[in-house]
Amino acid sequence: MSLLQALVDTSQFLDDVNSLDKLKAILDPDILEQAFKRAGVATVRRRRLPLEAVMWSVVGMSLFRNETVWDIASRLDISLPGKNKLVAPSALVQGRQRLGYEAVQQTFQILAHRTFTTQAFEQWCGLNLLAVDGVVYRTHDNEINRHEFGCDSNNHGESSYPQVRMCSLMEVSSHLLLDSAFDGRHAGEMSLAQQLLPSVPSHSLTLFDRGYYSLGLLHSWQSVGEDTHWMIPARKDLQYEVKHTLGKNDAIVTLSTTPQARKKFSELPENLTARLTSYQVKGKTYRVLSSLIDPLRFPYDEVTEVYTQRWEIELGFREMKQGMHQSKHTLRSKKPDMVRQELWGLLLAYNLIRIAMIDATKDYDELSPTRLSFNLCMRQVIAFFMFTSVQSASKLPAHYEELLNTLRLFTLPDKIPDRHYPRVIRRKPKKYPYKRKCQSALN
């Protein structure tokens, strides 16, 4: 269900709403109800700050990065009417603890699944293009976060901030997040990627980074659904046997699995069949390994161009860390469960903005959601949350349609073809400091 349809349905039975009801119209109340039941936090008790209001305060933490949680609740006017207009800061802290992080996680996952299954996305050779990659967030430096998430340290005993490692699955044509998994820095990205397997849709091609090369993971990814494929850069030391050639730089190969891998992945066979494709860009040779073994359905020219779409997930991470998170050094929350809640709230807020951008470009074939400025769209969505009049619910669809018209004005200029920036490699630090020349030697 699109946001506009949710607003239209809401206007049929609401005549007068407050700010909380307006926010409920943006996020289907049925999604919140399902999430609360799955997380086991649903309650019939009516509080000044119901769970729906606390949920929006968690989302607002990412939309209003420089505001306190108490100010966010005041800005969104999410508390129910009472003797006092404002709620106590302690009530928000208790509300967040009562909500927990699993309810926010369930809300994010239900919304992502519903959006992906009800929207039409760009496809490549009949497949939805997905990408998997990892990112790291820093938390407040305290003992409980160090124990829960871990941190880096050097030979001198100096340690960095506690870190949370996250792995995400993204639809590249819209930057919509389908699912995420995160844990402490001790968790590897490949183990986190395995947690994303239940969210992999059928009829899809997932683009992996080079570091995700694991025949057990790739075989599980290919077997999780119907017509699910993968693509990954080939390692330099890749061991394979050519089964038959499809062209000069295209071949079907056989990959042998190790006993250790078969022990870890019980369904992994002794040999896997894959496609090894080589191509050149500006004189440099690249090789990609994929499960696209049908040369008629997946022609060579198409296969050599699709992997560049993997960089779209890097842009999505930049939008979250630099746009929404404003490049802050650490997350807001100071306790592990609240850190997890804040991260799920960040992902949920990001998807809400992305869904509005998808709705804005849905009926415009020449315009893609990724060609809209995320930062400008984010500011406009925030303004919609704060300043849209709620005197009559019947006007909400018109206000939302006006929002979509405004988002379409934030179209980015066309990409410059063959844009090139030379790569700059930082000098590796030396173990010992550089020796300075003495003044007498200079004379």
Cβ 235 vs Cβ 214: under 8 Å: no
Q: Tell me the per-residue pLDDT of 338-363, one tens digit each, with 9 for 90 and over.
A: 999 999 999 999 999 999 999 999 88
**Predicted local confidence at residue 138, as pLDDT:** 94
183 in helix, strand or coil?
Answer: strand
Is beta strand 204-207 parallel, antiparallel or unpaired with respect to 127-138? parallel
Task: Calculate the dihedral angle through the C-alpha atoms of 322, 105, 136, 186, rounding to the nearest 10 degrees.
Answer: 170
Q: 422: how many CB neighbours lie within 10 A of its CB? A: 4
Strands of 202-333, DSSP E: 204-207, 228-233, 241-247, 250-256, 271-281, 284-290
Is-contact 78 23, C-beta < 8 A? yes
- For residue 430, what pLDDT is reported? 75
> How does strand 250-256 pair with strand 127-138?
unpaired
Average pLDDT over residues 179-184: 95
Two tokens at 228? 């699910």
Q: What values do phi and psi take at 152, rounded to 5?
A: -80, 155
High-pLDDT (> 90) share of the chain, %:
56
- Do β-strands 176-184 and 163-171 pair in parallel, antiparallel, or remain unpaired? antiparallel
Whether the pLDDT of residue 48 is over 80: the answer is: no
User: Is the model more confident about 63 or about 130?
Assistant: 130
pLDDT at position 218 over 90 = yes
Confidence of residue 383 (pLDDT cuts 50, 70, 90): confident
- Provide the 3-class DSSP secondary structure of residue 177: strand
- 12: pLDDT confidence band, cut at 50, 70 and 90? very low
Name the token pair of 378: 């984010």
Task: Output b/e per residue, 32-65; b: 16+ Cβ within 10 A.
Answer: bebbbebbebeeeeebebbbbbbbbbbbbbbbbb
DSSP secondary structure, 246-278, as one string:
EETTEEEEEEEPPHHHHHHSTT--SEEEEEEEE
Q: How confident is the model at residue 17 (pLDDT cuts 50, 70, 90)?
A: very low
**pLDDT at position 183:** 94
User: In sequence order, what E strands does 51-162 have?
Assistant: 123-124, 127-138
**Residue 439: is its pLDDT beyond 90?**
no
- Band the pLDDT of 394: cuts 50, 70, 90: low
Assess contact for 350 and 320: CB atoms under 8 A: yes
Looking at the chain, the number of H-run helices and the number of E-run strands are 17, 10
Q: Average model confidence (pLDDT) for the chain?
A: 85
Q: Is 134 within 8 Å of 92 (Cβ atoms)?
A: no
- Say if CB 356 and CB 381 are below 8 A apart: yes
Model confidence at 132, in pLDDT bands (50, 70, 90)? very high
Helices (H), 100-179: 102-118, 143-149
pLDDT tens digits for range 268-305: 999 999 999 999 887 889 999 999 999 999 999 999 99
Q: What is the pLDDT of residue 341?
A: 95
In this predicted structure, the answer to whether residue 42 has a pLDDT above a threshold of 90 is no
Neighbouring-strand partners of residue 279:
286
Domain ranges of the chain: 3-105+335-407, 106-316
CA Rg, the chain, in Å? 25
For residue 158, name the pLDDT band (cuts at 50, 70, 90). low
> Which amino acid belongs to residue 267?
E
pLDDT at 416 > cutoff 80: no
Least confident of 86-90, 319-323, 341-345, 437-441: 437-441
Report the alpha-carbon distance of residue 257 to residue 276 in Å, rounded.
Answer: 16
The model's pTM: 0.87
Token code pair at residue 126: 């009949």
> What CA–CA distance (Å, rounded) separates 336 from 272?
41
181 — pLDDT class (breaks 50, 70, 90): very high
Q: Which residue has the higher pLDDT, 157 or 382?
A: 382
The β-bridge partners of 132 are 169
Highest mean pLDDT among 6-20, 248-262, 413-427: 248-262
Between 152 and 226, the more confident residue is: 226
